Amino acid sequence: MHSFAYRGSELACEGVSIATLAKEYGTPLYVYSDATLTDHFTKLDRAFAPVEHQICFAMKSNSNLAVIRTLANLGSGFDTVSAGEIQRVEAAGGDPRTCVFAGVGKTEEEIAYALRKGIYSFNVESEAELSRISRVATRLKKIAPVAVRVNPNINAHTHAKITTGTYENKFGIAFEEIERVYARASRLPNLRLRGLQMHIGSQLTDVKPFRLAVQKVAPLVQKLNARYGFDFFSIGGGIGIVYQDALASGSPAWWRKPAGRKILTPDTYARTLLPLLKPLGLKVLLEPGRFLSGNAGILVTRVEFIKRTGKKHFVIVDAAMNDLIRPAFYDSYHEIVPVSKKSGRPIPSDVVGPICESGDYFAKDRPLPKVVEGDYLALLSAGAYGSVMGSNYNSRGLPTEVLVRGRKAAVVRRRQKVAAIWAQEAVAPWQ
Ligand SMILES: *Cc1c(COP(=O)(O)O)cnc(C)c1O
């Protein structure tokens, strides 16, 4: 379920008109739905009710303070990948003790920060990192809770840039090495072997790779748990979402329903994995990012120009790859809909931003109804890996972000003033 739908001919987020928000706050504009975040969290949480579990939202997908607060209030913990993200959790009023800390390149400073804040566990990605954590913990006279990330060598069959669970990428420690690494870790001072972690990739719409990975890893967890006394087994994130035909209801007539699209529901995910997880008797950690935030956000943009060339119909909009890089970076598909419904025959359109890069596009040859200068368009499913990947390329300020709850809307990030972009810069003294 998500809460972006036409009410009559106007796109709304919950009880708030998107056009009204766009007029009030300007564009480009990110709009997030509290109800959608809540619904997705609750569905996943309920699906795993038969086992002790903790959802740790992968906040790299969307780290806006208001999004973090919404999820923290629901009981979510956080999967963090830097000391900066742990500080963000604190800034949002969350508790670092609900955080796990992942990533292949943790610095000594970051490890020390996480230890002082009492994070729940380090997800360790290499033997060198284990030694470093042990060393920092010894220096600080702390016991560091650790879980090694196992690479189960299961291909998630998703986009190459988001596959993480095979031996061709930098993440985790090979399945065959794990027992030896734990044996070594058990001899290092000031470590507590708290669990095992895995994460095989992102945007998985088929449950099979998850099942294969848990099937492969569960016996290892059992063995290590008997030896070291674990608290948890983390099965990572990666639950995919629907990008095509992503509108909740009232799809316009020109809509082409993509054939054979797949949805991985929390129920299917839980029903498949619970029989494998339950016998372990351990707390299950889940690290969903996109599943919680992806369809909870849209990017609203205004049409600046229509440009026709011999071959193409370009719709030039005021949002760009610096606001949402996914199409350029991952060849991602985002549904694009007019904020006010349009009639008429769809025209194959290239929706492009103003940046001086041919990669600056949102869609190519996409059938869209005829739009004109000043119309608003919404790029759907932009709540995950959208705003967080924003940059100031072309000296463009980061956009405003709004959180909607029912009939209320609040600015949760003000548009960045352009002077703030170079505030940390200076001319050299000899100039
Ligand atoms: C990115 C990441 C996640 C979240 O991935 P999603 O596809 O957004 O669910 C979870 N765990 C780890 C270790 C990650 O790197």
Domain map (residue ranges) of the chain: 34-289, 296-421
Q: Which residues pair with 234 in a beta bridge?
A: 197, 285
The whole-number pLDDT of residue 261 equals: 60
d(CA 114, CA 144): 9
What's phi and psi for 324, nearest 5 deg?
-145, 105
Ligand 1 atom showing the smallest separation from residue 102 Cα: 13
Count of beta carbons in the 10 Å neighbourhood of residue 253 = 9
CA distances from 110 to 115, 142, 185 (A): 9, 15, 20
Same CATH fold, 296-421 and 34-289?
no
Take atom 3 of ligand 1 and give the residue whose Cα is closest: 237
CA atoms within 13 A on the CB side of 33: 30
Environment class of 263 (CB within 10 Å of its CB; exposed 0-12, middle 13-18, buried 19+): exposed
Count of beta carbons in the 10 Å neighbourhood of residue 91 = 12
The whole-number pLDDT of residue 259 equals: 46
Ligand 1 atom showing the smallest separation from residue 201 Cα: 7
Contact criterion met (CB below 8 Å) for 194 and 231: yes
H or E element, residue 390: none
The whole-number pLDDT of residue 250 equals: 46
For 372-399, letters b (16+ CB in 10 Å) and e give: eeebbbbbbbbbbbbbbbbeeeeebbbb
The whole-number pLDDT of residue 263 equals: 85
CB of 202 within 6 A of ligand 1: the answer is yes
The whole-number pLDDT of residue 160 equals: 64
What's phi and psi for 375, nearest 5 deg?
-70, 150
Count of beta carbons in the 10 Å neighbourhood of residue 252 = 15
Output the six-digit token pair for 411. 């600015």
d(CA 21, CA 28): 11
Whole-number Å distance, alpha carbon 371 to ligand 1 midpoint, is 37
Whole-number Å distance, alpha carbon 56 to ligand 1 midpoint, is 10
Output the six-digit token pair for 61. 């997908």
296-421 placed in CATH 2.40.37.10: yes
In testing the pocket of ligand 1, which one of 61, 161, 290, 385 has its CB within 8 Å of the most ligand atoms?
A: 61
Tens of pLDDT, residue by residue, the chain (431 residues): 579 999 999 999 999 999 999 999 999 999 999 999 999 999 999 999 999 999 999 999 999 999 999 999 999 999 999 999 999 999 999 999 999 999 999 999 999 999 999 999 999 999 999 999 999 999 999 999 999 999 999 987 766 666 666 666 778 999 999 999 999 999 999 999 999 999 999 999 999 999 999 999 999 999 999 999 999 999 999 999 989 866 654 444 444 444 456 789 999 999 999 999 999 999 999 999 999 999 999 999 999 999 999 899 999 999 999 999 999 998 899 999 999 999 889 999 999 999 999 899 999 999 999 999 999 999 999 999 999 999 999 999 999 999 999 999 999 999 999 999 999 999 999 99
The whole-number pLDDT of residue 170 equals: 77
Contacts of 35 (CB under 8 A, 6+ apart): 3, 14, 405, 406
Contacts of 23 (CB under 8 A, 6+ apart): none
CB of 201 within 6 A of ligand 1: the answer is no
Any idea which fold 34-289 has? TIM Barrel (3.20.20)
Residues, the chain: 431
d(CA 381, CA 424): 33
Ligand 1 atom showing the smallest separation from residue 289 Cα: 8
Name the residue with tokens 């399945």.
Answer: 175
